[in-house]
Structure formats: structure tokens, C-alpha cells
Structure 1
């Protein structure tokens, strides 16, 4: 029989999983998401992508700030769910919530656990130069992504893949795997294996202070840094284009075999010297503008060879 499910998620990454669980015929008795946040120039409150999608599906939505209040915990327990599906919800769940569903809480995590536990596994995997990641379906416990793994599938990371592209692929894969996990849970065949003790790494939340490009680093590290932060929040440098320093995001770049003083523009093709080698910028974005190819950028912003980018 279909399961009674509580779905807990917030960003775009979680929406395909919500859709897949609903399409599989399970009864989603409630959706939990982060509360609406002020956004845009008017700072009007905006509902999360999961919130909006749940409303479109006709599913009731709850948005507690946390589960510290006894009433919030009691309301969750009163749902009498068979399981909770948790995807990038954004809140740590207390033991009383984790233990409330009959079979527990199951998380879609976008890494090959125990590597990259934590908040930013997709970005960190690319920034570290990993060539393979995964989606794991984990039965949650009180630790930070420490629970036993029920299902997993690897995903290769190509040398030119951005975090945005990997995000979409892993989201779709996570939806597929969660449906499989719930089918096995329903059939009583779902198993969970403890995570290995070796190979634990943590994917810290991206700090704005680390988004600036450091041209003193080797070119291949800078390319990975750019890919891992593309399209958001974006790796950036400053250049003087109209009398004032302007912050420019780099969305795509490749390493090339050229040398020079780090941060100096080497030619008319946006090739920038690094600590080792150089990068050629292929796609970028000026503040308040749409992303553009390097050739289009250069038609409107003349940067002569020898210009220093900071």
C-alpha cells in the first residue's frame, strides 16, 4: 500500500524529488519548508520553491522556524507518517522529530558519503577537483549526515561541468533513487549499511569571502574554483572598466599553457596569468547584466593586454 509521507525540503534541488514521490502514488500528508524570506528590491516575502510547488500540488505546507517549540514537535508527530523524505530542508531535526515517523526519516544527500557531509557537497566536490560524486539515500540519525546509507549511485563529474549542471543531474538522480527506496521500504526489503569510518570530509557552507579569484593559485585550481561556484554565487575578479573598479563574475574558464605575472591579462582573448599556467575566460557576467560569452564582453569592454585583474 502507498506510504504516508511527510516531505521536508526548501530549494529547487528538492522539487523533482517532491514531484517524483507524489507521482509514485504515496500520500504526502504535509510538506515542511523554510519560512518565506524577504527578497528582491522591495524585500517582499518570497515562498521557497518547494513551498510553491507543494501549493500547486494541493499539499498543505508548514513553515516552522525550528522545532524548539513543543507544539511544532507535537504537530509533526500527530501526522502519524510512515516516513519523512528530507531534501535540503535547511534545519537540523531533533531526535523527537527523527523518531516520529514509523520507519524514520530518509535524506537525499548529493555526495558519496562519508565524503562531503554537510551543506555544500556539490560545490565542494567540484572545487576539490573530484571526478566522481554520487547521490546517497540515507536513513537519518542525530549526527550531521552520519546515518546509514540505503541506496547510492555514482555520478561522473566531467572536467567542464559546473555546479549548476551537476546540481540538476544529481537532483534528477535523487528523485529516482528516493522512489526506489520508498518502494523497497513499502515492501519491507530496504536495507541500510553504516558509513565507512575512513574518508570523512565536510562540505562547509560557501562563504562570500572565498568567492574572489586568487590568481596566484595554479590555473587548474582556479578553473575548479570557478566551476564549483558557477552560476551561483559566482567566482569573481575586479577590473577597471569605466573609471571605477567593477566586480565581474566568471562562469566558465579553461586552463591554457601560457605564463606571466599572476592576474595580468596576457592577450586580447581574456587569457589571465596564474601562479602556474593561465586561464582563458569563456563566459562571464557583469553586475546587473546577463551572462555573456567572452567575445561579446570584449566588444563592449576594452581590456588591453597587460591589464592587471585583481
Structure 2
């Protein structure tokens, strides 16, 4: 069952509101926590589905739980780590909700609830469908983004009907995927809870004519600011290779790649990796070949296909991060 704060419970019961709308909530990361809080505040009876606690640290002595479980919002928790474990789920629910869960929810689970399923997706769909919308918003240097609440398609990720968009959220010049996620968590919680409350109030999953008009307005504004007529795109799963630098690419791309994936790495001649901490890009070093380290006014740069990226710190494989200027001064080359 859902556990809200005593103050929240007093408000719910004093208003005559009972937690009768049963929601099976799939979520793991910290991005999902505000949405969980918002549905609790709306009076939903929540069951949380998340990943099992994992042993971490030296000697595996520490037990790390998911951010959603650690929040303590819900005591009724079911652990699912692989598709075969969905058979654990029992009970009758009004709605399935998925926020930053990462696994495909089987059709039989979606179909078992009265109103099917919803997902809060951190992009303006159909832009950036898939598992990494925030990273690809940064990688593509999109100037604006938002959140889409969509129905869960029983066969494919992000192919459901969009029920509601959040207001548009501007993306800063050197925004990172971490800072952009922080910007989007509250819009996601707000637009999701408004949608769920609307379903409970109207006893229907249909979109009103007024909401359709608002969705069209937001989508039109988004296309205008993106300067695109077709916004459809798909993202790839983030892997270690996502952060591999191709120095034939423009410096702006490499800088965006670093901010999107939280790191950037290149390979030395012996095959070992060198992690790079990037501080931005410039137009310097056109006389150098792509991939060449050089120094300008005491700062270390790597030449890209167009322009160059400024490197603050470097981490050779198996060693700690070191100041790029000091290392370059000692050895003259970082590859």
C-alpha cells in the first residue's frame, strides 16, 4: 500500500478523498521519484515495481536499493530484474505507469489493468524515441525539449498515443544530460499526475478536444523552435562506445558528446583508453591534424575535424585524473 506523510494523509481524508485508484508504478532511477510523489499526493494507491537491491562496495558489504525504493514513498514493492519475473505480479489495477524503468512491460501486464498503461517520456515525441532521449537531446544540440505522456504500446517502445505534452523546456548552451534531467523531473511529475487524475475523474482514457488543441499548439511551437517539419527520430542504447571520440567530427559535436554521455575517450596506439574532461570548444589549431594535442596560451586542446576541444583533465587507463597542462608539459604528447 501507499505510505504518505501524516500531513498528506490528514489532507486526503479531511477532503473525503480515499486512495481508491490503484496504480502499478514501474520505476527505478531518481528521475521517477517526483512522479511517484505526485501520484501519492493525488491519492493513488501505489504498488512499486523496481530492481532488486544490489551488493556494492568493498567486499560487497553495502546494499544499494533503487532510488524509488529508497525514497520510502511506497512500502508495497515488487522486485523484477528480468522478463521471466513478470509472473510475480498479481492483483487488479486501474492503471500501469512507467517512468524511467528501462524494461519492456509485457502486453499481458498492460492489458490486465482497467485503463492500460502510461509512460512519461522526457522528449517531445515522436522526437527521440527509445531509451536515451535526454542524452540525444544534448548530442543533437536541440535548443528545446519537454515531456510527453503517452499510452504504453504493447509491442514497441514509444509508439503509443500521446495524451499530453508538458510546456517546452529550454536547453542551455552547455547543458549536460544530468542538468537537463534535473530540469525535466518536475514537468514529468506534473504532466503525469494531471493525466492520471483526469483519467480517474472522467473514468476514461480519451483526450478531450481542448487537450488535443493544446497538444497541437505545443507541437507546432516545438517544430518552429527546432526548425523542423519532421521531428521523428530514434535513440540508441547508451554503451561505452557512445562516448568514443571520432576526432574527424566537428568540435561542437565532441563537446556535445561529452556533455551527453558524461565522458569522452580516445584510444592510444597500444589500445588503452584515455578519458578526457572537456571544457568547451574553440576555432583554434587549424594548422594541426585532427586528433593532435596542442597548447595555446597555456591551455591544452585537441584538434577536431572543425575547430578544437579544450581539455581540462585527462585520465590514462588504470590511473587517476590529472591536470592536462601538467601532463602535457611532462611528456609532450598525450597519446
TM-score by length of 2: 0.76
Offset of residue 298 of structure 1: 4.9
C-alpha separation in 2, matches of 1:308 and 1:286: 12
Q: Tell me what 1:168 maps to.
A: 182
Offset of residue 118 of structure 1: 0.9
- 1:252·1:283 contact (CA, 8 Å) conserved in 2? no
Which sections of structure 2, spanning at least 5 residues, go unmatched?
1-16, 220-229
Summarize deviations over 1:82-125 as a string: whole Å, max 9, x none: 21221111221111111122122110111111121111111112
Q: 1:180 to 1:276 in 2, by over 3 A?
A: same
2:50 is equivalent to residue 33 of structure 1: yes
C-alpha separation in 2, matches of 1:7 and 1:288: 40
The 5 Å alignment of 1:285-304 reads 297-298=323-324, 301-304=326-329
Q: Tell me what 2:39 maps to.
A: 21
C-alpha separation in 1, matches of 2:161 and 2:278: 36
Q: Tell me what 1:272 maps to.
A: 302
Which sections of structure 1, spanning at least 5 residues, go unmatched?
none
Q: 1:97 to 1:134 in 2, by over 3 A?
A: same
Summarize deviations over 1:255-284 as a string: whole Å, max 9, x none: 344422222232221222111111123577
2:263 is equivalent to residue 207 of structure 1: no
The 5 Å alignment of 1:222-237 reads 222-230=254-262, 234-237=263-266
Offset of residue 304 of structure 1: 3.4
Offset of residue 179 of structure 1: 1.5
Q: 1:203 to 1:91 in 2, by over 3 A?
A: same
- 1:8·1:33 contact (CA, 8 Å) conserved in 2? yes
TM-score by length of 1: 0.81
The 5 Å alignment of 1:129-278 reads 129-142=141-154, 143-153=156-166, 154-188=168-202, 191-192=206-207, 199-230=231-262, 234-237=263-266, 247-250=274-277, 252-259=279-286, 260-267=288-295, 268-278=298-308
Q: 1:305 to 1:254 in 2, by over 3 A?
A: farther
Offset of residue 33 of structure 1: 0.3
Q: Tell me what 2:79 maps to.
A: 63
- 1:265·1:305 contact (CA, 8 Å) conserved in 2? no
Task: Report the structure number with the largest CA radius of gyration.
Answer: 2
Summarize deviations over 1:141-199 as a string: whole Å, max 9, x none: 21211000111122222221011111111122111111211221122276447999x54
Stretch moving more, 163-172 or 263-272 = 263-272
Aligned-partner SS, 1:35: coil
Q: 1:209 to 1:41 in 2, by over 3 A?
A: farther
- 1:253·1:283 contact (CA, 8 Å) conserved in 2? no
C-alpha separation in 1, matches of 2:37 and 2:186: 10
Q: Tell me what 1:90 maps to.
A: 102
C-alpha separation in 2, matches of 1:287 and 1:4: 50
The 5 Å alignment of 1:3-22 reads 3-22=21-40
State the Cα RMSD in Å. 3.3
Q: 1:298 to 1:208 in 2, by over 3 A?
A: closer
C-alpha separation in 2, matches of 1:209 and 1:304: 29
How many residue pairs were aligned? Answer: 292
Offset of residue 66 of structure 1: 3.8
